[in-house]
Amino acid sequence: MFDLTLDAWYAWIGLSLTGVALVGAAAGLPTAPPPDAGAVAATIDRVAAAEYAATGEHPLDAEEIRLGTRRVGLRSDAGTAHATVAFGPVTPVPAGDSPLREVLHGTPPDRAFRSPESFRRAVVSARADATEAPWRAVDRTLIVRRTTWDDVDVVLVDA
């Protein structure tokens, strides 16, 4: 009495196409959660909020990163995530060899720069370059360092 007869060829084709579409949709779903940009921003905030010079590291589970002065973005096959840095602005260290990279990795600013004014100019230039920051490949660790030289107080960030 409640039996459906699926004798028609178009019903079988419709069911087959629906099954293929469902399998395709399920196969397209990511198998892992997107990277945790909130945890990266929290690490930056902890270092930035310190009263004295501080350094922090955070392992990254992303393939690419975008560092801005107030936002961080992470991207991987599983998706993209963004977070806002509360204690900004921070200074993303430019790629390549630079005195700011030396300071990030532990060199005191007075050894890497000739004067506090040259240190300030390098920080201002790095922040200006970060306004249109591109996505770039990451190393597996984010490094954050807060340092001060005279009245130049800066939080350096790089991955």
Measured between alpha carbons, how far is residue 108 from residues 95, 114, 156 in Å?
19, 11, 13
Domain spans in the chain, listed from the N-terminal domain onward? 37-158
More reliable by pLDDT, 15 or 122: 122
For residues 57-67, b (16+ Cβ closer than 10 Å) or e, as one string?
ebebbbebbbb
pLDDT in tens, 20-78: 888 777 776 667 778 899 999 999 999 999 988 999 999 998 999 999 999 999 999 88
pTM here is: 0.79
Give whole-number Cα distances, 42 to 20, 65, 66, in Å: 43, 16, 16
Is the peptide bond prior to 34 cis by the omega test (within 30 degrees of 0)? no
